[in-house]
Amino acid sequence: PLRPEDPVAMALRASSRRLMTATRDVLPRRGQMLALPRQTEDVAPLLEKAKQPWQELAKEEKVTLYRAAYGVTRKELQSEPSHSGFIVAATLGAIAVSFLIFKGTNKMANPRPHTLSEEWQKASQQKIKDEGLNPIRNQ
């Protein structure tokens, strides 16, 4: 466990505080749905109208308020081109490159150690049996 005076614990607390502060400053709070950077001057008068009942607003005004708050609709987000094909291709390419590097290093490596030969393995198994080094299996 980390002690409160531990420098690592102090650094973790400081970084988590910075992250929480940054997140708190970026995310809109309840009741501030239109306090976003997409606001323009033409939205300001609509904000006053929005305090009144929404049935009195025209459809265009409602759409303008929605666009100021959220930007695009879900349908518009879904119609944008997906990057999943690129991500899959890049992942498969990275796996292929790493496989080629692995095979290249195996090809250039020195010959296998003599302790991995078949006769060495058999002799090791025989020694284990002869000296009774495996008491669990009684070999």
Q: Are 54 and 62 in contact (CB under 8 A)?
A: yes
Whether 22 contacts 51, CB under 8 Å:
no
Nearest to 47 by CA among 79, 55, 57, 37: 57
Q: String of b and e for 49-59 (b: at least 16 CB within 10 Å)?
A: ebeeeeeebee
| Predicted confidence pLDDT, tens digits, the chain (139 residues) | 556 677 777 777 777 766 666 555 555 454 444 444 455 667 778 777 778 888 888 888 888 887 777 777 778 777 878 888 999 999 999 999 999 999 999 888 888 888 989 999 999 999 988 888 877 776 5
Q: Are 68 and 34 in contact (CB under 8 A)?
A: yes
Cα distance between residue 35 and residue 70, in whole Å: 11
Distance of alpha carbon 68 from alpha carbon 107, whole angstroms: 61
Nearest CA to 61 among 77, 74, 44, 73?
44
* CB contact set of 43 (below 8 Å; sequence gap of 6+): 34, 64, 65, 68
pTM: 0.37
